């Protein structure tokens, strides 16, 4: 029972089970365990695309890296955001950080999609540039909507964990 209580007091994303023991993971241990799994799972779709379009491994390396890099950057960023959440950063600052991180991730994914389309000769480079600009401009209003939603979620979570209600002025 005490081991379960200890497990619940630890951060969600930084706990691992090893040989029946619960242990807290550092950023590097977390990356060491999760990054290879992610990269191996990422190879599958590219092998299928390569087989379907008769592409060589050399032609698949650039698009593979374009899709792998955003998640590799996002993993430590999420760890850092969770740690700053535990340290009691204000809900406004946390919401802003989460939304900006998500926005950067989605822009990187959009770049990867258009880059891969150009590399596989599925999209004309001029069309890809115009599509990228349009996608970024159309996604700007979603920042403000997502910020409000994230602020509400973080405030609710903090109020539940601390047992007190946060006033609108403290946000």
Whether residue 149 contacts residue 98, with contact meaning beta carbons closer than 8 Å, is answered with no
- Burial annotation 34-60 (CB, 10 A radius, 16+ → b, else e): beeeeeeeeeeebeebbeeeebeeeeb
Q: What is the model's pTM?
A: 0.69
What's the rounded Cα separation, in Å, for the pair 154 and 95?
Answer: 7
How many CB atoms are closer than 10 A to CB 19?
Answer: 5
Domain locations in the chain as residue ranges: 8-170
Q: Where is pLDDT greater, at 12 or 104? A: 104
The candidate with the shortest Cα–Cα distance to 79, out of 128, 132, 35, 18, is: 35
- pLDDT over 70 at 171, yes or no: no
What tens digit of pLDDT does each residue of 51-83 get?
A: 887 888 888 888 888 888 888 888 888 888 888
Give the mean pLDDT of 108-119: 88
Mean pLDDT of 128-148: 85
Least confident span in 10-19, 103-112, 155-164: 10-19
Segment 150-164 shows an average pLDDT of: 80
């Amino acid at each position: 029972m005490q081991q379960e209580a200890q497990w619940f007091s630890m951060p969600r994303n930084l706990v691992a089970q090893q040989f029946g023991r619960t242990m807290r993971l550092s950023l590097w241990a977390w990356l060491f365990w999760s990054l290879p799994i992610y990269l191996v799972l990422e190879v599958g779709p590219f092998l299928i695309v390569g087989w379907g379009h008769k592409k060589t491994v050399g032609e698949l390396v650039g698009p593979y890296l374009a899709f792998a890099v955003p998640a590799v950057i996002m993993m430590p960023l999420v760890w850092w955001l969770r740690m700053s959440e535990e340290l009691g950063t204000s809900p406004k600052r946390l919401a802003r950080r989460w939304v900006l991180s998500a926005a950067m991730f989605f822009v990187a994914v959009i770049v990867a999609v258009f880059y891969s389309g150009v590399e596989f000769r599925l999209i004309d480079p001029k069309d890809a540039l115009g599509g990228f600009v349009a996608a970024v401009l159309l996604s700007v209003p979603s920042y403000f909507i997502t910020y409000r939603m994230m602020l509400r979620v973080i405030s609710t979570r903090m109020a539940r964990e601390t047992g007190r209600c946060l006033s609108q002025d403290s946000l």
